[in-house]
Amino acid sequence: MTVLLLGEVDNGTLNMDATAKAVAACKPLGDIHVLCCGAEAADAGKEAATIDGVAKVLVAEDAIYGHRLAEPTAALMVSLAGDYDHVVAPATTDAKNILPRVAALLDVMVITDVSGVVDADTFERPIYAGNAIQTVKSKDAKKVVSIRTSSFDAAGTGNSAEVSDVATGDAPGLSEWVEDHVAESDRPDLTSAGIVVSGGRGVGSEEDFAMIEKLADKLGAAVGASRAAVDSGYAPNDWQVGQTGKVVAPDLYVAVGISGAIQHLAGMKDSKIIVAINKDEEAPIFQVADYGLVADLFEAVPELESKL
């Protein structure tokens, strides 16, 4: 059995963390072929070839795959899918956009955000904001699956798989990229960081959110936020952790001024160590925290920062 895995290629660069975690998840499924597509994808393809467990890398380089618009990328994957039993991708926003389209074109159900691979047909996935885990067995001939990367450890590197080009398709002409609005940052990536410091509504303002960022920088951590903090404009949307934001599982997660709504817990409760700083001792976040500090964050955070 062979797996077609969509490598996470962002502006020509391979997202090693997401791709290597998806490769690890697919190991029990058979030989893994990684597809790298984009306006530039050759370098990403070479990178992907180093991931242990990858049997082959397919490169599709064409301007129509730039920015990975769903329509051309899905069409490409469908054109290749004939040779494969599983079509897989790490559950990034790109893959969440593309994979269901692939599945529908193949007339199969998509199995999204898989947190466990039981066997070739059977997968575990969280439902109801992670309050239940469902085990599903697919009756479809082909399985289209997205992988919740925080549930898997990345495969190692050192491999040198064969790399080949694949035929590209025609532009469907349905959508066009206009622009990206990305904030450059030197901080680690939220989904792969070892430590995450997140702020919530309790932080109170965009100015005061700088305090959270300062603490994060001291720890070499990524910065996260609750939905309330993002909605209030304290933090950008891509920092949101939770059911509908990013799912993280760092070694240390520090929640500051976050109450611990189930939708937030859905994105961080698999962290190894959870620290909560909140002035309300009844806050539900303390029910999942390994270390809770009942304190005013405006005093506790600067003190913590100074003592690290």
Ligand X SMILES: Cc1cc2nc3c(=O)[nH]c(=O)nc-3n(C[C@H](O)[C@H](O)[C@H](O)COP(=O)(O)OP(=O)(O)OC[C@H]3O[C@@H](n4cnc5c(N)ncnc54)[C@H](O)[C@@H]3O)c2cc1C
98 is in an annotated binding site: no
Paired tokens of 162: 């064969």
Q: Toward another protein, which CB reaches closer, 14 or 49?
A: 14
**# binding residues, ligand X (CB under 6 A):** 27
Interhelix angle 297-307/206-219, nearest 10 degrees: 30
Paired tokens of 245: 């934001």
Q: Does 303 bind ligand X (CB under 6 A)?
A: no
Residue 283 touches which of another protein, ligand X, none (Cβ within 5-8 Å per kind): ligand X
Q: Does 201 bind ligand X (CB under 6 A)?
A: yes
CA 197 from centre of chain: 17
H or E, element range at 16: helix 16-26
Report in angstroms how near the CB of residue 243 gets to ligand X at its nearest: 5
Q: Does 177 bind another protein (CB under 8 A)?
A: yes
What phi-psi label fits residue 250: left (phi over 0), alpha (psi between -120 and 50 degrees) or beta? beta
224 is in an annotated binding site: no
Q: Does 228 bind ligand X (CB under 6 A)?
A: yes
264 is in an annotated binding site: yes
Q: Does 63 bind another protein (CB under 8 A)?
A: no
Region 98-127 residues binding another protein, contact defined as CB under 8 A: 98-105, 107-113, 122, 125-127
Q: Does 272 bind another protein (CB under 8 A)?
A: yes
Of the residues 263, 269, 288, 293, which one makes contact with ligand X according to CB under 6 A:
263
Report in angstroms how near the CB of residue 95 gets to ligand X at its nearest: 18
Separation of alpha carbons 278 and 50, rounded Å:
44
Paired tokens of 146: 């997205």
Separation of alpha carbons 208 and 229, rounded Å:
11
Q: Does 229 bind ligand X (CB under 6 A)?
A: yes
Report the length, in residues, of the chain.
308
Residue 141 touches which of ligand X, another protein, none (Cβ within 5-8 Å per kind): none
CA within 13 Å, CB half, 182: 7
Q: Does 164 bind another protein (CB under 8 A)?
A: no
